[in-house]
């Protein structure tokens, strides 16, 4: 089944909290939605900080338009 792809715009306080909540609750989200969830892309001007937060769990870009286009 095709996953629900999620893109985050910003990975500061709110964005990193959202990232962690989505990762931590993946199984419950899948159970309720009937499909897995995948955080596929994160946009932040500070790409170095973003990579520290998401690791290699998602692609990190510096332009929010890339997330929207994806």
* CA 24/CA 39 separation, integer angstroms: 12
So what's the pLDDT on residue 68?
95
So what's the pLDDT on residue 1?
82
DSSP letter, residue 25: T
Let me know: does 36 contact 4? Beta carbons within 8 Å: yes
What tens-digit pLDDT sequence spans the chain (70 residues)? 899 999 999 999 999 999 999 999 999 999 999 999 999 999 999 999 999 999 999 999 999 999 999 9
* CA 12/CA 29 separation, integer angstroms: 23
Question: What is the pTM (predicted TM-score) of this model?
Answer: 0.86
Let me know: does 9 contact 45? Beta carbons within 8 Å: no
Find tokens 């969830």 and name the residue.
Answer: 37
Find tokens 């937060």 and name the residue.
Answer: 53
């Amino acid at each position: 089944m095709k996953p629900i792809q999620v893109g985050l715009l910003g990975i500061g306080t709110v964005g990193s909290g959202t990232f962690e909540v989505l990762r931590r609750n993946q199984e419950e989200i899948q159970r309720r939605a009937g499909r897995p969830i995948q955080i596929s892309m994160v946009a932040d001007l500070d790409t170095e900080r973003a990579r520290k937060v998401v690791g290699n769990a998602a692609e990190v870009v510096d332009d929010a338009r890339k997330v929207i286009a994806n």
